[in-house]
Amino acid sequence: MTAPLATILVVDDEAAIRCALRTTLTGMGFAVAEAANGEVSVEMARTSHYDVVLLDINMPGMGGVKTCRELRRLLPSLGILMLTVRDSEEDKVEALDAGADDYVTKPFHVRELAARIRAAVRRARTPGDEPGAPIRIGDIEIDPDRHLVRKAGQTVHVTPKEFELLHILMSHPGVPLTHTRLLRTVWGPEYGGELEYLRTFMRQLRRKLEEDPSAPVYLLTESHIGYRFADIEQ
């Protein structure tokens, strides 16, 4: 018997969705456990190891966002994917700000979900790099210690703020980072609503790093939510 690809905890109050997910993901090689609400999932996460939690945002009782906050507090390296029914940006932003790594809108295609799960597992299992360690994704490389950015081996000149923005994005490949989080990390805790700053700096970065800045491959926009650096497997 082969070892499972990863251990997944499915948290959803709808039995039909849990059943469909359990059967499919098990068939794809994952080990799957289930919880019907947030309270139970927190207890299960305290006592057993899971690589990734699939967490419904809209549940009675503790609710998805509160559960996410609690799980993140208990297990900082756990992969958390939120399942959202409503196509509401506010919900997604709230979930990401509560510590979720990513979100998938219901109904989803299993292939898309499995890809997101695999990316979350990879991130959860990759030990955090040293803060100054170089990061290379695709053709783009950032070296925080030497304050260098390279594209296909060629040095690209970026401003200090562009550098900081690129660094936080590249430190979280594949993870959507909200406008508020980016602004507060790069500009300071008193910022949060200055979307213009972000748009301007992202536009500059795209001009410098993308082949076609209007069709970016690396610096991706998450409409109304924030930005995501592409997760390109090396």
Partner 1 sequence: MLAAIAIERARAFENESRAEAARHSEQLRTTVLDGLAHAFKTPLTAIQTASSGLVELGGLDQDRAELASLIQEQTRQLNQLTTDLLQMARIDAADVRISRERVDVADVIDEVLAKARTQYPTSDEHKGTTFFFALPRWTGGR
Q: Kindly identify the residues of this chain, within the stretch 204-233, that bind partner 1 according to CB under 8 A.
A: 214-216, 221, 223-224
For residue 62, what are the β-bridge partners?
none
Stretch that binds partner 1, among 111-119, 129-137, 141-149, 170-178 (CB under 8 A): 111-119
Q: Least CB distance from residue 185 to partner 1, whole Å?
A: 21
Tell me how far apart the alpha carbons of residues 48 and 149 are, in angstroms, rounded to a whole number.
Answer: 41
Stretch that binds partner 1, among 22-30, 69-77, 123-131, 168-176 (CB under 8 A): 22-30
Position 44 contacts partner 1 (CB under 8 A): no
Instruction: Specify whether the CB–CB gap between 167 and 144 falls below 8 A.
Output: yes
Q: Least CB distance from residue 110 to partner 1, whole Å?
A: 4
Of positions 87, 127, 146, 190, contacts partner 1 by CB under 8 A: 87
By CB under 8 A, name the binding residues for partner 1: 14, 16-17, 19-21, 23-24, 27-28, 85-87, 106-111, 113-114, 195-196, 199-200, 203, 214-216, 221, 223-224
